[in-house]
Amino acid sequence: MSVLVPDVTAAPPRTRAPQPVGVLIGTLVLAILTFQLNATLLSAALPAVGEQLGESTQAVSRVQSTFFLAGAVFGVVFSRWSDFLGRKRSLVIVLALLLIGTVICALAPSLPVLLIGRVLQGASNATFTISFLLLSERLSSRLFGISVGIITSVNGGLFGLDGFLGGVVTDTIGWRFLFVITLGLGLAAITCVLLFVPLDAPRNRDGSMDWWGAGILSLFLVLLTSLISQASSSGWSDALTLGYLVGTIAAGALFVTVENRTRRPLIPIRALRSRQVWPLLLTTVLTLAGVFSALNFTVVMLSQDERVGYGLSASMSALLYLTPTAFVGVTAAIFSGYLAVRIGWITSLRLSSGLITVTAVALALFSADRWLVFGLLIVMGVFYLGLFQSSVNGVSVLNSPPEARGALPGLNGACFGIGIGTGIALVAPVVATASVAGYQSALWISAGLTAASFLASLILRPAA
């Protein structure tokens, strides 16, 4: 299988020595950490957040699902807008929104106010896709593959220590201090971006951003996530569920109509229909829905359940079931981009997706054994945080239509958030029963989602 290389024909010439490449990658890693730590630090703190704000388990799950849904919307908008605005300017804007949202979260007196802050924090999701685009335009094929692995490794946070840190801070100082930590990181990130990321020219000089398409697609994403959440809690015959279903279908049809009539669409519909695009998006949604809901929600809740679970504290839960997984995932991701270049990006994607499915099934079968779960999560870290995420990020850049370079990475980034939000929405009702059957059912739901993602990856084809 041939290995695709990034389109660098229109990239600005590199006039510096190789040393600034390391500075650039380091700056982008710092920017991406602002998103990742806002996602992982709070995972172990969810029970404490619910207790202090007087909210149920299902209600407090929206702290995470809202964050990722907002990330999906902002990721699409800012990734494509960066084609017109420039990569550096876009990074500065999303980091500024993150800082505002973090201050709101730290001071939030209630769950609704906390959710508003999480929406603004979700803008930082765009740091991933903008960074991949920026690197693909400046680096060779080999260096691009290596940088994809390094950037993807940030998905594991601080080698897994962020999950443990979140638990310790929650148990000692309190969960609000987690936002003080991310505020400091955000200030450092925006400073480094201003100092070290070169100011780049827009990729698209003619035409303007398709704001109608962006708005309609954002509405579609919100309605789709709301549909799945409402259906999982109230059933498909519920009046509100049916309303969301009608709205989702109408928004999807309107998006296709508008994009077909726009001179420079958010993404060409012909590309969206191709086997180079839609199977990739489906693979990302299903994998994230299955894996994140199992690792960062069901297992966390199971491990802290004193009645039918493992009865661990927040810090011990993070130490055993979040930190080791992230640590091995970060380590594997560093080398995964190099491996993907050698064996082919899509081959790497299929291999990791298949192995994730096998691991997810084993996790559902042996959920009662805390030490076997511990070992399976480490295996999952290698294939999910390591190989899969590097592969899917690389393919999203290489398969993106040349006339809309920011389109597919933006949509793929949105699928990360949609997948995570969807997965949590699907398993939250059964996890909320706090029973052995409920936890096992949630893990089987996650396993089914990963199996479907593997089938979707077999349909995917490389761009010509």
Q: Which residues contact 370 (CB under 8 A, 6 or more apart)?
A: 303, 310, 320
The pLDDT, as a whole number, for residue 360 is 92
Q: Which of 248, 263, 278 is the last residue of a domain?
A: 263
Q: Is residue 1 part of a domain?
A: no
Mean pLDDT of 218-236: 79
The pLDDT, as a whole number, for residue 190 is 94
On whether both 103 and 223 belong to a single domain, the answer is no
What's the mean pLDDT when you consider all of the chain?
A: 83
The most confident of the ranges 63-72, 93-102, 410-419 is 93-102
Q: Which residues contact 149 (CB under 8 A, 6 or more apart)?
A: 333, 334, 335, 336, 337, 338, 340, 390
The pLDDT, as a whole number, for residue 25 is 85
Q: Which residues contact 198 (CB under 8 A, 6 or more apart)?
A: 12, 24, 88
Backbone angles phi, psi at 333, to 5 degrees: -65, -30
**Token output for 362:** 């084993």
Angle (CA) 443-444-447 rounded to 5° is: 90
On whether both 86 and 224 belong to a single domain, the answer is no
Residue 19 pLDDT > 50, yes or no? no
* CA distance to 6, 128, 181, per residue, from 166 (Å): 37, 22, 10
Mean pLDDT of 87-115: 91
Instruction: Give the pLDDT band (50/70/90) at residue 3.
Output: very low
Backbone angles phi, psi at 112, to 5 degrees: -60, -40
Distance (Å, whole) CA 340 – CA 390: 8
Mean pLDDT of 37-42: 83
Q: What is the total count of domains within the chain?
A: 2
Q: Is residue 346 part of a domain?
A: yes
Cβ atoms of residues 94 and 126 within 8 Å: yes
Q: Which of 245, 263, 281 is the last residue of a domain?
A: 263
Distance (Å, whole) CA 345 – CA 5: 10
Q: Is residue 349 part of a domain?
A: yes
The pLDDT, as a whole number, for residue 248 is 92
Cβ atoms of residues 125 and 38 within 8 Å: no
Distance (Å, whole) CA 121 – CA 48: 20
At how many degrees (to 10) do helices 19-40 and 62-85 cross?
Answer: 150
Distance (Å, whole) CA 69 – CA 54: 23
Angle (CA) 383-416-94 rounded to 5° is: 125
* Percentage with pLDDT > 90 across the chain: 20
The most confident of the ranges 6-20, 83-97, 214-228, 405-419 is 83-97
Distance (Å, whole) CA 444 – CA 16: 52
Residue 10 pLDDT > 70, yes or no? no
Distance (Å, whole) CA 232 – CA 210: 33
Residue among 340, 333, 443 at smallest CA distance from 381: 333
**Token output for 221:** 């994403």
Distance (Å, whole) CA 103 – CA 65: 19
Q: Is residue 194 part of a domain?
A: yes
Residue 180 pLDDT > 80, yes or no? yes
On whether both 26 and 157 belong to a single domain, the answer is yes
Mean pLDDT of 423-445: 84
On whether both 238 and 352 belong to a single domain, the answer is no
Listed range (32-36, 43-47, 93-97) with the worst mean pLDDT: 43-47
**Token output for 446:** 């996650």
Residue 291 pLDDT > 60, yes or no? yes
Residue among 13, 43, 47, 187 at smallest CA distance from 103: 187
Residue 215: domain span: 211-263
Residues 61-70 have pLDDT tens digits of 778 878 888 8
Residue 373's domain is classified under what CATH number?
Answer: 1.20.1250.20
Residue 410 pLDDT > 50, yes or no? yes
**Token output for 29:** 């890693």
The pLDDT, as a whole number, for residue 241 is 86
Q: Is residue 28 part of a domain?
A: yes
Residues 352-377 have pLDDT tens digits of 999 999 999 999 998 888 899 888 98
* Percentage with pLDDT > 70 across the chain: 91
Distance (Å, whole) CA 301 – CA 305: 6
On whether both 270 and 383 belong to a single domain, the answer is yes
| Torsion angle of the four alpha carbons 80, 84, 89, 94, in this order, in degrees rounded to the nearest 10 | -30
The pLDDT, as a whole number, for residue 157 is 61
Residue 6 pLDDT > 50, yes or no? no
Residue 12 pLDDT > 60, yes or no? no
Residue among 341, 283, 305 at smallest CA distance from 141: 341
Neighbours of 316 (CB within 10 A): 18
Q: Is residue 170 part of a domain?
A: yes
Listed range (46-55, 83-92, 189-198, 451-460) with the worst mean pLDDT: 46-55
On whether both 236 and 142 belong to a single domain, the answer is no
Residue 220 pLDDT > 80, yes or no? yes
